[in-house]
A = this chain, B = another copy of it.
Amino acid sequence: MYNIDKLYEAVAERGHVCVGLDTAAEYVPPRERGRSGAQAVLAFNKALVDATIDAAACYKVQIAYYEAAGLEGLRTYAETLRYIRGRGALVIADIKRGDIADTARQYARAHFEGDFEADFVTLSPYMGMDSVEPWISYAESAGKGAFVLMRTSNRGMRDFEYLELNGPGQAGAAGRLYHAVGDRIAALAENHRGVHGYGAFGAVAGVDSDSGREEAAAIRSRYGGLFFLIPGYGAQGGAAADAALLLREGNGGVVNASRSILRAWMEEVKAGGGEGPDYEADNCFAAEAARRAVVVMRDAIRTELNAETGPS
């Protein structure tokens, strides 16, 4: 059984929310910052995991926020992953690595074994499929999975991902660069397909406010066998309706939100008329606010899915 099958089942049980632990030190309530920065982040992460574990499909940990604090930050990263997995939840290591085959093998060892072991990783395809393929042996031996960058939702997406290729005959299909990438990932997924029909290797697929609903629907329809990691919800400006278009029969993707969950406590303090974001909030308060944000998001996506398919 691949991890992607477990993720499918987690979505069916608990909805589509992927909680993004891109935990900047300033997201921790001030009164909890007595410890060292890295220890404070770890305690905050644990509180949020405890509060959201029955309402979220999985977690995504953005390693950059931990690398930024050096060795101590990476210890927090390792401990955060271990805590999530110890609680029986799935975790995506958001590392976006991409390098030649020999190096990719080292990265795979780094993130699918040992201190930094995760259930899934994110990968960057620029250098080609020999930067992706070495990760596959871990799908076969340990069920691991990966989400390869395909069509992201950031502003710069239009710089390269969106460029039009020169007609058919290249990568088997005309289209944009991201289609060439998606087509190769889809072929890979086909050979490592789990029991629920999705490949162990999926794709990062988002939409942005400038793209039409047509694009999202076309992506979903072109890549029926790919499970999507969908960014751009909340702080990046996406919405439940956009995300729903990238799902299929109520599954086939998780929707990531980071800041809107991590900073939910600040919004609640502000709305409650507190004297600013640091007014008496602690990790318990932050965790409960995070939970409420996850539940609202989960239900908004479910509502959209029901609206699409009509009453069942």
B170 touches A163 (CB 8 A): yes
B68 touches A78 (CB 8 A): no
- In Å, the complex CA distance between A57 and B114 comes to 35
B107 touches A67 (CB 8 A): yes
A64 touches B106 (CB 8 A): yes
A184 touches B165 (CB 8 A): no
Judge whether A166 is part of the interface by a CB distance below 8 angstroms.
yes
Size of interface on A: residues with Cβ below 8 Å to B: 61
B71 touches A127 (CB 8 A): no
Judge whether A149 is part of the interface by a CB distance below 8 angstroms.
yes
B127 touches A152 (CB 8 A): yes
Known: A103-B22, A129-B156, A154-B101. A78 touches B67 (CB 8 A): no
B100 touches A97 (CB 8 A): no
Judge whether A115 is part of the interface by a CB distance below 8 angstroms.
yes
- Within 8 Å CB of A96, what residues of B? 97-99, 124
A110 touches B70 (CB 8 A): yes
Q: Which of B62, B97, B107, B125 contacts A160 (CB 8 A)?
A: B125
A130 touches B154 (CB 8 A): yes
A128 touches B156 (CB 8 A): yes
Q: How near does chain B come to A71, taking the closest CB pair, in angstroms?
A: 5
Q: Could you say how many copies of this chain the assembly holds? A: 2
Residues of A bordering B, CB below 8 Å: 22, 24, 62, 64-65, 67-71, 73-75, 78, 96-104, 106-107, 109-111, 114-116, 124-131, 149, 152, 154-161, 163-167, 170-171, 177, 180-181, 184, 236
A68 touches B110 (CB 8 A): yes
- Within 8 Å CB of A104, what residues of B? 64
Closest partner residue, chain B, to A108 (CB atom): B68
- In Å, the complex CA distance between A114 and B67 comes to 10
B159 touches A184 (CB 8 A): yes
Q: Which of B67, B70, B115, B160 contacts A177 (CB 8 A)?
A: B160
B149 touches A116 (CB 8 A): no
B166 touches A109 (CB 8 A): no
- In Å, the complex CA distance between A8 and B167 comes to 41
- Within 8 Å CB of A131, what residues of B? 154, 156
